[in-house]
Amino acid sequence: MAWIAFGTLAIAIGLYPLVYAGMERDMGLLASKSDELFGQVTWRLAFYGHISFGGLSLLTGWTQFSRRIRRNYLSWHRALGTTYLVAVLLSGVCAVYLSFFATGGWIPGLGFFLLGVSWIFFTLRAYRAVRQGRYNEHGHWMVYSYAACFAAVTLRIWMPVLTFALGDFLPAYKIVAWLCWVPNLVFAYFWVRHRGMELG
């Protein structure tokens, strides 16, 4: 059941960027952005690049935790891993850039900045480890990488809860900028220490 829930959430939020294809300018997160900011080509490219490649990261990354795929379909594991790596680097760089324009000022901005930097760092460490044949270490860093990636899911779980509890979007957004990923990394730490919890 945990594996099914994990995969379902990853796929659902991974496909979420498609919503923006038909979303009006004054809906969702875009409604909190000024016309001046939205009018900047660089910002728009970063925004759509982040959500598109971030969605691809979610869609491909969760499969890497399946022992069946890793053991029986190694070529698929490598191909999906390469896709995940490229998607993370592109989405992560866009995320770091976008953090300087975060709604709510420097508190959520710093949270999203550290998330983006951590996501890139963990992913590059995982790539370096596998290139050097340190497969166990590679798996550990991938746990941290996908824990950061999964912030896209936990953000969308926490955001409506916090908004309802606090009665206002802005303070909820400032909290969720940290809450969406810090607990994920704490969970990843304990998972890495107790590899018997491996999914799949």
From its phi and psi, is residue 194 left (phi > 0), alpha (psi between -120 and 50) or beta? beta
Residue 26, pLDDT score: 62
Residue 27, pLDDT score: 61
Residues whose CB falls within 8 Å of the CB of residue 139, separated by 6 or more in sequence, listed in order: none
Residue 24, pLDDT score: 62
Residue 90, pLDDT score: 97
pTM here is 0.87
pLDDT, tens only, 45-95: 999 999 999 999 999 988 888 777 778 888 888 899 999 999 999 999 999
Residue 25, pLDDT score: 60
Task: Locate 180 and state its tokens.
Answer: 């969406």
Residue 89, pLDDT score: 97
Task: Give 126-159 as a DSSP string.
Answer: HHHHHHTT-HHHHHHHHHHHHHHHTHHHHHHHHH
Asked if 181 and 116 touch (Cβ cutoff 8 Å), the reply is no
Under DSSP, the state recorded for 40 is -
Asked if 61 and 83 touch (Cβ cutoff 8 Å), the reply is no
Strands (E), 33-120: none
Spans in the chain with pLDDT lower than 70 = 1-3, 21-31, 195-200
